[in-house]
Amino acid sequence: MPTLHGLVELSAVRRPHHVCLRHGDHPPLTYADVQKALERCASHLVLLDTKVLALVADRSYGLVISLLGVLRSGKAYTPIEPDFPAARAQAMLEAADIRYALVPAQQVPQPVLHDCKGLRILAVHDDGRVCSAEEDEPVPGDFAQLPTVPDNATAYVLFTSGSTGKPKGCMVPHRGSALYAQAVVEHCNLDENMVYLLKTPYVFDVSIQDLFTAFCAGGTLEIADPGAHKDAGAIAEIIGTQGVNCACFVPTLLVEFANYLERNPEEAQSVRQSLRRVLTIGEALMTATCAQLLSHIPELEIHNLYGPTEASVGVSHFKVAGSNVESLGTVVPIGRPFPYVNFCVFDPSTYAEGQKIEETTLRAPAPGAIGELFIGGDCLASGYIKNPEKTEAAFFRFPSLCAKAPEGASPFTLYKTGDLCKVEDGIFHYMGRNDFQVKISGVRIECEEVSAVLKTHPVVGDALVTAFDGPFGKALAAYVVTTDTVDWSQEMDQGAQDSDEILNVSSWGAVYDEMYKETDNSVSAQDPTLNWSGYTDTYSRRPHIEQVIKEWVEWSCEQVRGERSLKP
């Protein structure tokens, strides 16, 4: 069975001089260059007395080499974004017993790590050299100590939202993620002559798809600059100028991308010249989005992928193209499971939420009825690190319920997804959630985690967080009960003392200032009847920008015309 770094090695043997990585004006790196650098990096890391290392980096060569070096050394990585709140970063480090953090040499220091106790920071150079961040002195290394990494070794520990207010770290072996990369290459018709785009933040497991489908195919991976994934215009420019053939989007961002092409036909024409595959994952994909995108790029194939972190990125696939888009319903199906994956659908009424699930109580729903999806096969994670209670509630050893037993990468045979689905002619359709978890822009959020954090405030007696559909998609609303009469002016002053809060307010202030710097009136130049005088933003005290007002008006009109009551 393959390992993740083994996919790079296979391509390096097959085509060593082919360009593997490109990033802006930096000299490109061939597969031979990358293989040499990851081996050198691993020779340093293998001597560290630890099982899990943190990666703190922006997208760069250094990030990719660090990640691959960790995998080749037989250890696992935990990704931490440079702009994470310091408290969350510290909680992740403590949960996984992390004592070392890797940072690309050009990105030292990292402020998020300043107050992390007992943490040693190592700087990784693009050629694989690993040095002490404080002194820039090389740390010891020994190529002879590099192990043969088994495919059931943990590749990464990814922290997801947890209902207790603390994130839970999911331990994912090499096997499932490597099998997934191979399955995507095969089922999505990817090949070695394509250019792929790395734009997904590496704290999301979809970045594994970005990275290792390219490496598995033996193609070239174009690295987007930090922050580019938030800007549809920047992504369109990269695709057009760099000849990108395959890119991945969460559906929310795919909507923005399709709308951008709609407003910018010249950019759409440039994108059409090269883009041949779009992979989507992370949320329900709307058929209307696919139709809009195919209207600009008729030759495009859109591949809808589905899967939770606990099942190694993705487990099923459905292809959308011009030939079948008009026959689909409102939501694109999640399709069929990959050959190494087993899907089981059970009637949730046969087990009570919060109670222990027994193998003998699980029953399939009536034909065509909705049930909860359980996943089995060679894709499962090994549970949540140092969290047996959460592991026991989500992972099960029910071999009699699986059509085929896994071969040992995970100690479990089934994972309870919380996703509702139904099956029609062997095709699986996503029908929503069976718990308090929601996805916003592809990010998993436990409403109970947000509630739990709110309850830690001394004036909050109780809190409930729920999701609602607003004019710009799904959002969260919090309802709190205070413990006593509260002086909110003092609370605001006290809250502002938190350093993370100050940084967040400053960042959002800069965003709003940029949005509004060119807006000095509240009347549309194109449509004088569109007058929003008095509708000002509560942060800036300035008028809302015209595009925002137009979207609100259009959404409101759609609701009225559809004779539906407005939602908050």
Q: What is the predicted pLDDT for the residue at 484?
A: 62
d(CA 563, CA 557): 10
Please write the tens of the pLDDT for every residue from 424-448.
999 999 988 876 556 665 565 766 5
Amino acid at 512: Y
| Side-chain half-sphere CA neighbours of 99 within 13 A | 6
d(CA 103, CA 122): 6
d(CA 192, CA 220): 8
pTM given for the model: 0.79
Tokens of 283: 């949320």
Q: What is the predicted pLDDT for the residue at 447?
A: 67
Q: Which domains does the chain have, with CATH numbers?
A: 27-149 (3.40.50.980), 340-438 (2.30.38.10), 443-561 (3.30.300)
Radius of gyration, alpha carbons of the chain? 24
Virtual torsion, Cα 545, 548, 552, 555, nearest 10 deg: 150
Q: What is the predicted pLDDT for the residue at 162?
A: 56
d(CA 534, CA 114): 44
Q: What is the predicted pLDDT for the residue at 443?
A: 64
Beta strand 195-198 with 220-223 is parallel
d(CA 404, CA 402): 5
Tokens of 224: 């987007």
H-helix or E-strand spanning residue 176: helix 174-187
Amino acid at 306: Y
Angle at 481 between CA 475 and CA 482, to 5 degrees: 125
d(CA 133, CA 296): 48
Beta strand 100-104 with 473-482 is unpaired
Strands (E), 120-164: 120-124, 130-132, 154-160
As averages over each run of 10 residues, the pLDDT of the chain (568 residues) reads 95 98 97 98 97 97 98 98 90 93 95 88 97 89 97 95 71 97 98 97 94 98 93 96 97 93 95 98 93 96 97 97 93 96 92 80 90 94 94 91 69 93 94 70 63 69 69 72 64 53 52 46 61 56 65 75 54
The residue whose two tokens read 């049930």 is 371
Q: What is the predicted pLDDT for the residue at 540?
A: 46
Q: Are 279 and 248 in contact (CB under 8 A)?
A: yes
Please write the tens of the pLDDT for every residue from 5-62.
999 999 999 999 999 999 999 999 999 999 999 999 999 999 999 999 999 999 999 9
Q: What is the predicted pLDDT for the residue at 513?
A: 52
d(CA 434, CA 455): 24
Q: What is the predicted pLDDT for the residue at 52?
A: 98
> CA dist 488 to 360, 455, 539, Å?
53, 16, 17
Q: What is the predicted pLDDT for the residue at 517?
A: 47
H-helix or E-strand spanning residue 291: helix 287-296
d(CA 52, CA 43): 16
**Three-state secondary structure call for residue 106:** helix
Strands (E), 390-537: 395-396, 414-424, 427-433, 437-440, 443-446, 460-470, 473-482
